[in-house]
């Protein structure tokens, strides 16, 4: 020791007067020095300002400093800045209060620049004549502090994992009492604070039957040391309504390997099970649907390679499976078919949509027509549903031929009707003209009986001309040759024209003919001639079948349509005849047919004209009281309103 502390030196000198006592003291001092030199702790003596007065030799082994490196230097200059205030405060308190024994943990700078944790305890001997300093005993606890920090990090990590895991995680003792559990477990138990479950068992939270099963399983793990992994357990006694959990239980062992409890985990897989069940049911339905389909199904990749197929019978295939599986459409199908199929596969995969194409193949010398619907089944695969449409194509061809024949027949019928109209109208017009001349001749030129005969001739010719016109109109409606327009039509003008047309017949029967239209009636959308014909047929029928009373024409606006009513006080229509009155050549009954002339075409023509103008005709009637026919047409919007 290069320099000696005064207290130690004084002790030695005081003992020099007595040789025997001196030798004993010397031996004792030697033992003390040896003890200090070989101590695992650092012994240091500080002045009241914190300067080193003495350090034991262990300083070099623990902190790398020589004793001369520290003596005279302030100890606090080696303390970590984060620990400086607390360490200095404890030292100053001990300096001012000798009874206070400070104990502190702080970081002290090693000679190599690293930091070592020291645990120090001090004794204030500043007033001791032999020591005259503050004695500090320091122990290197770096390993312990770092181990504790690592343990704390692991503990924090475990706590974070347990708190954040969506799965239930818990620890129980050998009596199956909860020691620790995470929030997910607490939620499963129906509590908010996990601490509320500590010390309790499953019997406090679950029905007796379930709790007993859980307890038995856990005790088996504790007794045998064998884990129970991935067990499916219900969380309710009613398995149909239960939540299902996938659980695992493993033994918890101490450092000696003894089992001191269990660690359990569980995950609610109810939704997954339901989804899997729904998926199985869906797959079963799709398999059944696929099996029931008469079509052939192929699975192909982007290159057009046949990957798989489904066919009820091998005879449904154009070729045996070994001849096309693993090969491309270009190798299997004719070029004229393979090209469009390959292009369609590319388009379907790029768009993710569907595409349908038709093609023809010669199979065993027989020409067959097929329809293929391609659907994307992933990023690089398509499913092709192929159907033999040979019979459909044949029927379509026959249908086209039938339609063409019908159209030709319709044209021939129209031509025949045109010819009949011309051939019948011309002589009938002559008959009507001569009859009118005879009736308009000088008074007395015809006898009363002759005049009645001529009037009958004129009426018969008029009815025949009307019948021919109706037949021609009906034929043109069926053929779509009426050429109806769609434009705004002024209803009051049409109604007035119809009134003038039927006024003579109404006057002849002494019927009152009323017209009741609102002043602001908007125009309707349709064909003026077509609407005129509809109203003429309706009002004409009303006058024809009404012997006394009145015929009333009215109109009103209902939403975006106009309703025109023709109301009469005529004979009415029987309930059983009402559904048939718009059929061709139909009248209410044979009695009516005998009493009132007509071919029964007027209402049929009126309804068809209305339908071709986006309108409709309704009827209500009471036999013996009268009828109400309602024509409904759309309002024609003005350009401003339409915009």
* DSSP string for residues in 10-21: HHHHHTTTSHHH
The helix (run of H) or strand (run of E) holding residue 619 is strand 616-622
Res. 116: pLDDT tops 70: yes
Helix (H, G, I), strand (E, B), or coil: what is residue 561? strand
The residues, ordered by sequence, that sit 6+ positions from 586 with a Cβ below 8 Å of its Cβ are 580, 600, 604
Question: Residues 6 or more apart from 595 whose CB is under 8 A from it?
Answer: none
CA 384 to CA 379: how far, in whole Å?
Answer: 15
Give the chain's mean pLDDT. 83
Whole-number Å distance between alpha carbons of 217 and 637: 81
Entry pTM: 0.40
233 vs 374, residue with greater confidence: 374
In angstroms, the first-to-last Cα distance of the chain is 113
pLDDT surpassing 60 at residue 146: yes
Residues 5 and 45 sit within 8 Å (Cβ to Cβ): yes
DSSP, collapsed to helix, strand or coil, labels residue 335 as helix
Which of 10-19, 110-119, 153-162, 422-431 has the highest average model confidence (pLDDT)?
110-119
pLDDT at position 300 over 60: yes
The Cα-based distances of 26 to 6, 32, 55, 125 in angstroms read 16, 10, 21, 23
**pLDDT confidence tier of residue 461, bands split at 50, 70 and 90:** low
The answer to whether residue 280 scores a pLDDT higher than 50 is yes
Strand partners, 524: 489, 635
DSSP classification of residue 140: E
600-634: per-residue pLDDT in tens?
677 888 888 888 888 999 999 999 899 999 999 99
pLDDT at 109: 96
Both tokens of 243, joined, read 């939540």
CA quadruple 475, 478, 482, 488: dihedral sign: positive
> Which among 330, 328, 377 is positioned nearest to 349, based on CA atoms?
377
Instruction: Give the model's confidence band at 575: pLDDT under 50 very low, under 70 low, under 90 confident, else very high.
Output: confident
Instruction: With both helix axes pointing from N to C terminus, report the angle between 6-14 and 19-38 in degrees, rounded to the nearest 10.
Output: 150
- Give tens-digit pLDDT for 341-391: 999 999 999 998 899 999 888 877 888 888 999 999 888 999 998 888 888
Q: pLDDT higher for 200 or 32?
A: 200
What is the reported pLDDT for 428?
65
User: pLDDT for 537-568, tens place per residue?
Assistant: 899 889 989 999 999 999 999 989 999 999 99
- pLDDT of 315 reads 66
- Residue 590 — pLDDT band, cuts 50, 70, 90? very low
User: Higher-confidence residue: 392 or 163?
Assistant: 392
Report the distance separating Cα 282 and Cα 587, nearest Å: 58
Please report which confidence band the pLDDT of residue 235 belongs to, taking 50, 70 and 90 as the band edges: confident
Highest mean pLDDT among 184-193, 307-316, 416-425: 184-193
- What 3-state class would DSSP assign to 228? strand
46 versus 583: which is more confidently predicted? 46
Which tokens hold the place of 521?
A: 């009636």
Q: What is the torsional sign of CA 314, 320, 324, 329?
A: negative
- What's the rounded mean pLDDT across residues 444-454? 77
Indicate if the pLDDT at residue 261 is higher than 60: yes
* CB-CB neighbours of 288 under 10 Å: 10
The H or E element spanning position 27 is helix 19-38
Mean pLDDT, range 474-494, rounded to an integer: 75
Burial of residue 40 (CB within 10 Å: 0-12, 13-18, 19+) is: exposed
Question: Could you report the per-residue pLDDT of 11-49, keeping only the tens digit for each?
Answer: 334 444 456 666 666 666 666 666 666 667 999 999 999
E strand or H helix at 75, and its extent? none
Integer angstrom CA distances of residue 301 from 309, 320, 336: 12, 20, 20
- Taking phi first (over 0 means left), then psi (-120 to 50 degrees means alpha), and beta for anything else, what does residue 448 get? alpha
Q: What is the pLDDT of residue 193?
A: 93
Residue by residue, what is the 3-state secondary structure of 370-435?
EEEEEEECCCCEEEEEEEECHHHHHHHHHHHHHHHHHHHHHHHHHHHHHHHHHHHHHHHHHHHHHH
pLDDT at residue 451 is higher than 90 = no
Q: Quick one: pLDDT band at residue 440, thresholds 50, 70, 90?
A: confident
Helix locations, 108-178, DSSP H: 142-164
| Mean pLDDT (whole number) for 177-204 | 92
Contact (Cβ atoms closer than 8 angstroms) between residue 602 and residue 591: no
- Please compute the mean of the pLDDT values over residues 166-193 and round it to a whole number: 91
pLDDT at residue 434, rounded to an integer: 67
Helix runs in 480-490, H state only: none
Domains and their CATH numbers in the chain: 6-139 (3.30.450.20), 165-273 (3.30.450.20), 293-388 (3.30.450.20), 395-470 (no CATH), 482-642 (3.30.565.10)
pLDDT at residue 499 greater than cutoff 50: yes
Residue 261 φ/ψ, nearest 5 degrees = 160, -160
Confidence (pLDDT) at 417 = 62
Is 179 strand, coil or helix?
A: strand
pLDDT at 501 over 70: yes
- Residue 129: which pLDDT band, with cuts at 50, 70 and 90? confident
């Amino acid at each position: 020791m290069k320099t000696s502390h005064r207290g130690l030196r004084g002790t030695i000198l005081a003992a020099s007067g007595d040789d025997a006592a001196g030798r004993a003291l010397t031996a004792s001092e030697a033992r003390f020095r040896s003890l200090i030199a070989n101590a695992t702790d650092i012994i240091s003596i500080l002045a009241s300002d914190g300067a080193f007065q003495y350090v034991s030799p262990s300083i070099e082994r623990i902190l790398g400093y020589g004793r001369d490196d520290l003596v005279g230097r302030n100890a606090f200059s080696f303390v970590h800045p984060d620990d400086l205030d607390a360490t200095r405060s404890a030292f100053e308190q001990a300096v001012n209060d000798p009874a206070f024994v400070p104990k502190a943990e702080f970081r002290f700078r090693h000679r190599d620049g690293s930091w070592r944790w020291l645990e120090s305890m001090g004794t204030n001997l500043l007033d001791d004549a032999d020591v005259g300093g503050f004695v500090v005993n320091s122990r290197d606890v770096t390993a312990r502090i770092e181990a504790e920090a690592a343990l704390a990090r692991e503990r924090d990590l475990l706590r974070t994992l347990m708190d954040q895991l969506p799965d239930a995680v818990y620890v129980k003792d050998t009596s199956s009492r909860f020691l620790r559990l995470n929030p997910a477990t607490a939620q499963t138990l129906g509590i908010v604070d996990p601490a509320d479950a500590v010390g309790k068992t499953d019997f406090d939270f679950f029905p007796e039957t379930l709790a007993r099963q859980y307890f038995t399983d856990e005790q088996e793990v504790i007794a045998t040391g064998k884990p129970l992994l991935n067990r499916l357990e219900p969380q309710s006694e009613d398995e149909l309504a239960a939540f299902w959990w996938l659980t695992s239980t493993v033994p918890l062992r101490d450092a000696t390997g003894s089992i001191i409890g269990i660690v359990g985990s569980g995950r609610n897989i109810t939704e997954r099970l339901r989804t899997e069940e729904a998926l199985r049911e869906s797959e079963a339905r799709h398999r059944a649907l696929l099996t029931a389909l008469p079509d052939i199904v192929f699975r192909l990749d982007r290159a057009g390679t046949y990957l798989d197929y489904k066919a009820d019978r091998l005879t449904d295939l154009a070729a045996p499976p070994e001849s096309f599986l693993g090969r491309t459409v270009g190798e299997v199908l004719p070029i004229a078919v393979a090209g469009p199929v390959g292009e369609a596969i590319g388009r379907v995969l790029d768009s993710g949509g569907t595409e349908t194409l038709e093609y023809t193949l010669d199979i065993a010398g027989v020409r067959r027509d097929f329809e293929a619907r391609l659907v994307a089944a992933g990023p690089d695969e398509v499913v092709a549903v192929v159907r033999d449409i040979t019979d459909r194509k044949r029927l379509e061809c026959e249908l086209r031929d039938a339609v063409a024949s019908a159209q030709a027949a319709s044209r021939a019928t129209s031509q025949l009707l045109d010819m009949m109209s011309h051939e019948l109208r011309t002589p009938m017009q002559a008959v009507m003209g001569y009859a009118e001349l005879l009736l308009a001749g000088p008074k007395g030129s015809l006898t009363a009986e002759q005049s009645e005969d001529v009037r009958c001739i004129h009426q018969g010719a008029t009815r025949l001309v009307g019948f021919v016109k109706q037949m021609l109109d009906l034929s043109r409606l069926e053929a779509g040759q009426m050429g109806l327009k769609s434009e705004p039509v002024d209803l009051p003008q049409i109604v007035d024209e119809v009134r003038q047309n039927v006024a003579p017949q109404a006057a002849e029967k002494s019927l009152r003919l009323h017209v009741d239209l609102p002043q602001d009636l908007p125009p309707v959308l349709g064909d003026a001639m077509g609407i005129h014909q509809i109203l003429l047929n309706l009002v004409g029928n009303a006058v024809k079948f009404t012997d006394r009373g009145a015929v009333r024409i009215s109109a009103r606006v209902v939403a975006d349509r106009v309703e025109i009513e023709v109301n009469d006080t005529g004979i009415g229509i029987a309930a059983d005849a009402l559904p048939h009155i718009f059929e061709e050549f139909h009248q209410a009954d044979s009695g009516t047919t005998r009493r009132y002339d007509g071919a029964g075409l007027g209402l049929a023509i009126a309804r068809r004209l209305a339908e071709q103008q986006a309108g409709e005709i309704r009827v209500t009637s009471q036999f013996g009281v009268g009828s109400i026919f309602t024509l409904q047409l759309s309002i024609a919007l003005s350009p401003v309103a339409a915009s």
